[in-house]
Amino acid sequence: MDSIFSIGAFVLIIGLIVLVIIVQQFQQNRQYAEIQARLREIRDAELREQKANALRAERMAIMDPITMLEATIQSRSDKSLTEEELYQVEAGRTRIKAITDELMHNQQWLGTPYDLEWHEMLERIPLVRSAFLAANFSPPPTELPPSEAGSGGSAPPPGA
């Protein structure tokens, strides 16, 4: 009877040791998973920051030729933009707006003075701004339709 009690106590102690080992293993696995999750968050934050810095560098690379265009316009007597320059400013505007939207979407937007929206950047280059707005908002030259061109101007004024 004494040997059965000894074997039972031994099995109980082994079972208790196995239970403690299983509980500790479970806790270690949970802590390991938490550490992995925190490291993943840190890596993701670093990647978002790197992407935001790359977008800001791209935005400045886009803005540099437009700023140089400001100096070019200042040296010219004609303060208007050519078609190529208009295309350059419009392409820059489109890409800068896309970069702004992406920075805001990724919650990496810092705001003034670090991040400027297109209209804020455009305010810093007044000659390009006025020429760009004048070209975009001026009505295109319209030609008279052929029926009115041959009437010789004898048509009564509108509303008469």
63-90 per-position pLDDT tens digit: 888 888 888 888 887 777 788 888 888 8
| CB atoms closer than 10 angstroms to residue 31 | 10
- Band of residue 149 on the pLDDT scale cut at 50, 70, 90: very low
What percent of the residues of the chain are helix, what percent strand, and what percent coil, each to the nearest 5? 75, 0, 25
Residue with tokens 């550490």: 35
| Percent of the chain surpassing pLDDT 90 | 21
Query: How far apart, in whole angstroms, are the C-alpha atoms of residue 138 and residue 119?
Result: 19
**Mean pLDDT over each residue of the chain, to the nearest integer:** 81
